[in-house]
Structure 1
Amino acid sequence: MPSHHNNHLTASLRSSTTISTQSFTSRLILLLTLLPLSLAALAFILQWKGNSDFMMDPITANSRWAPQGSHIQNHEIFPGMESSVLSPKAHKSSDCSSLGRSGAPSFPYFRDWKIDFQDDLRPKICITTSTSADLVQILPWMFYHKVMGVMTFFLFVEGKAASPKASNVLESIPGVKLIYRTKELEEQQAKSRIWNETWLSNFFYKPCNYELFVKQSLNMEMAIVMARDAGMDWILHLDTDELIHPAGAREYSLRQLLLDVPGNVDMVVFPNYESSVERDDIEDPFGEVSMFKRNYDHLPKDTYFGMYKESTRGNQNYFLTYGNGKSAARVQDHLRPNGAHRWHNYMKTPNEVKFEEAAVLHYTYSKFSDLTSRRDRCGCKPTKEDVKRCFMLDFDRSAFIIASTATEKEMLNCSNSSRAVVSESMLSRKTNKSRENQATARKVLGLETAAASHEAAVPPLSPPGLLVEA
């Protein structure tokens, strides 16, 4: 009897142990199943949140990246806001992420993106520009050049760039000085030295591009004074559709490039490369445009002349717009602007050198909207005669006429055809309704004769013209 009882007890214990083991195993399997699923879900949430920040439109930067303590809704730090001291930045290769083609903005403004501030870095570089662009264009342009080594920006703003939203963001960034186009500024500039000099007077009291050229020159004159007061070593004048390409410099650094310039050189010239757009749906030129037409100065001469027709596709000029590059000048006594592309000195002829590799990338007419933006800013009549008093360059004149008279479909055809060598027949049909359109948009624009097309646009100068064989 006791033996039977012991056997029953042993069986019960074994059964209980088996059930307990099975229960533990089941729980362990469930835990091992749920753990990776939970981690995957957490990773997805974190990635989604990060992408939402990455995709943020710079227009919303004034609320998302407001400086600490500001009245703006979200008190997050705009890149660089951790320091209010105007000082140069040290740049490492790790500061830049790969800028591959993407649907997102090319230069995302992460909260944790920091550039070291070091007061002893030389040379100190500043950029001045005159702009009416919005934040979508200004911010990536500015942060690109910050990474290149630019310390200070003197922004002469009007239009969208002077709006309260844009101003609030730009003024919060260390190293940025905004100068607004006011009546007081115009009165001050009317008393300036270059206003009374004959070289600039030929551009006075003319609309559109001529007016812009005068503004740029007067603003550059003021920027020289501000650069000297801020202790800058070099000054550049760039537009917000231009990026410096410091090829040939170690670590792709503009600071290193200028540091290597001999001390007896007063001015350096960056030949310009012109963007060659392959699509009509470009939204982010800095990130989506990757093909450029190299400057005459950076090409073997036999290549330039041998491939001229193929590279121009019927356009009588090698570049659609300017071809004489941009320059940087040492900040020194008696420095003055010499147009938007060069600097000069009242007391001497500057010692100028031209870079053999470094260039300025000009993203001209990269977006379809660029065709209409000039039209909206200029009140000239869309006729061949009137545009001559408004625009210096042939293609700007052509683009203005097309944007003012053509349908959207016709403008798209122009934009699609080799960067819009505008068809002569389209212009003729718009200015003379009785004529039929006889050509495609790839044909050369016949606004001027072949001889006139090789005349230098002053300013800026065109590159050397095609040599015609006898």
Structure 2
Amino acid sequence: MKTALVLTVKNEKRLLRDNLLYHRALGAHRIFVYFDGTTDDGKASIEDLDFVTIQDSVSGDVYAHLSYLEKFTKNAVEHHTARQCLNTYDAIQHCKKEGVEWLISLDADELVCLDFNQKQSFAEFFDTISKDTAIVNFKVFEVLQRKLYYNNVLEEETLFKTTSSFKNRFKAVKKSVFNPFTKEHQSFCYWYGQHLGKAALRVSNDIIPKNVHRYKTISGAPLKNVTRLGLLHYHAYDAEDFIKKFKNFKKRANTYLSGNTVDVLKLLLRDVVNQPSISPKDLEDYFKHYIMFSPKEVRRLLKNRWGYLFRYKPALIQKITSVREVFKNIERINKT
């Protein structure tokens, strides 16, 4: 059974090579990397990896003749997610030729994690998925931003947030973020990034992206899907990544491809980072004070208490050590 990955990448050199080596260690047969306006040395950093296919994002013109991709081809210039969906569709075509059964679409700051404590290979994992299942949705866990700078966050960080929303607003875990435009503090959930996760699709002629998180069939036939562990999202994990990420967002639209407005926090941070007069040191301080979690905040999260008597279920923070173990093994192989 062959598994492949597809990534759409912009200025992710810090994570990209390690991301690919990690997924190769889990058994990825092929990884398709589409560069989307990259200006760093990301391409050069991975060009020696023989299991990687490198190209630029697919133009909307390439698949303009396919009516079922019209939402993506018509919006490819304005929306990076439209290009990402076209890249995934393009990778599906390559997978058919190479006999790949499962394809997973990710970003460079995301890792598939199939077990919290020990390595599980793609082959072992997909052997547990029934033959009539077409889609495996991966539940997302967001990294806990607790350092100003990481050398290699994929190896170093083991704590992840588990809860993207709270049904009871009184139980919600909040961060106070300063808005320099209104001179006021605003409260936001301790979870900053996307919460829909990503998915693996069973490669076929009929399955296409619905958006970057979900899939559908061209024919309209229903798809059997299941949800499993897990996806680790290293979103704005330190000051350098925070600045880079929202510099990348500078020219992105205020609405998603669906027409919904982009999250208020994401728009605020985009505008903060891209102020012409703000210095890198000021942005680093902003990250430290308003995005990063202090040691005191980390201790409070790990206590997992609501009030004096109650505990959060699931726990607010999950410790995940399997990724670190995979990298230790990669290092041993490299040394050998």
2:211 maps to 1:359: no
Output aligned runs, 1:78-157, within 5 Å: 123-157=1-35
- 3-state DSSP class of the match of 2:25? helix
Query: Which of 238, 243, 254 is the matching residue for 1:388?
Result: 254
SS at 1:417's partner residue? helix
Within the candidate set 241, 244, 267, 2:112 is matched to 244
Where structure 2 has 5 or more consecutive residues not aligned to the other structure, the ranges are: 177-186, 294-336
Q: Secondary structure at the match of 2:213?
A: coil
Q: CA deviation at 1:375?
A: 4.7
1:226 is aligned with what amino acid? H
Shift of 1:414: 2.8
The structure 2 residue matched to 1:290, chosen from 148, 151, 158, is 158
- Residue 179 of structure 2: aligned partner: none
Structure 1 residues 157-172: aligned runs within 5 Å = 157-160=35-38, 167=43, 170-172=46-48
| 2:175 alignment counterpart | 313
Name the CA distance, whole Å, in 2 between partners of 1:162 and 1:280.
22
1:377 corresponds, among 248, 273, 278, to 248
What is the alpha-carbon distance in structure 2 between the residues aligned to residue 367 and residue 360 of structure 1? Answer: 19
Per-residue CA shift, 1:369-427, capped at 9, x if unaligned? 223324543554xxxxx973588232221111111224444423331235259xxxxxx
| Residues 291 and 124 (structure 1), Cα distance of their counterparts in 2 relative to 1, 3 Å cut | same
Cα distance change on mapping 1:201 and 1:333 into 2, 3 Å: closer
Match among 45, 48, 53 for residue 177 of structure 1: 53
Q: Which residue of 1 aligns with 2:62?
A: 188
Tell me which of the two structures has the higher relative contact order, counting C-alpha pairs closer than 8 angstroms and 6 or more residues apart: 2
Aligned residue pair count: 276
**Structure 1, unaligned stretches of length 5 or more?**
1-122, 381-385, 422-470
Shift of 1:202: 8.5
Amino acid at match of 1:219: N
The structure that has the greater radius of gyration is 1
SS at match of 1:313: strand
Structure 1: which amino acid aligns with 2:97? D
Q: 1:394 to 1:321 in 2, by over 3 A?
A: farther
Q: C-alpha root-mean-square deviation of aligned residues, in Å? A: 3.1
Q: Indicate the SS of the match to 1:323.
A: coil
Alignment partner of 1:260 is 2:125: no
Where 2:148 maps in the other structure, the secondary structure is coil
After the TM superposition, list the runs of 4 or more consecutive aligned residues in structure 1 that deviate by more than 6 angstroms: none
Q: In structure 2, what residue type is equivalent to 1:149?
A: G
CA distance in 2, matches of 1:201, 1:250: 41
Q: What is the TM-score with the length of structure 2 in the denominator?
A: 0.72
TM value normalised by structure 1: 0.53
Q: More strand by proportion, 1 or 2?
A: 2
Match for residue 231 of structure 1? Answer: 99
Query: Cα gap change, 1:223/1:367 in structure 2, threshold over 3 Å: closer, same or farther?
Result: same
**Structure 1 counterpart of 2:239:** 368
The CA distance in 2 between the partners of 1:305 and 1:379, in whole Å, is 34
- Aligned partners of 2:99, 2:8: CA distance in 1, in Å? 21
Q: Secondary structure at the match of 2:28?
A: coil
Does residue 404 in structure 1 map to residue 274 in structure 2? yes
Structure 1 residue 318 displacement after superposition: 5.3
Q: 1:226 to 1:295 in 2, by over 3 A?
A: farther
Report the Cα distance in structure 2 between the residues aligned to 1:132 and 1:416, rounded to whole angstroms: 24
Q: Within 1, Cα distance between the matches of 2:170 and 2:162?
A: 12
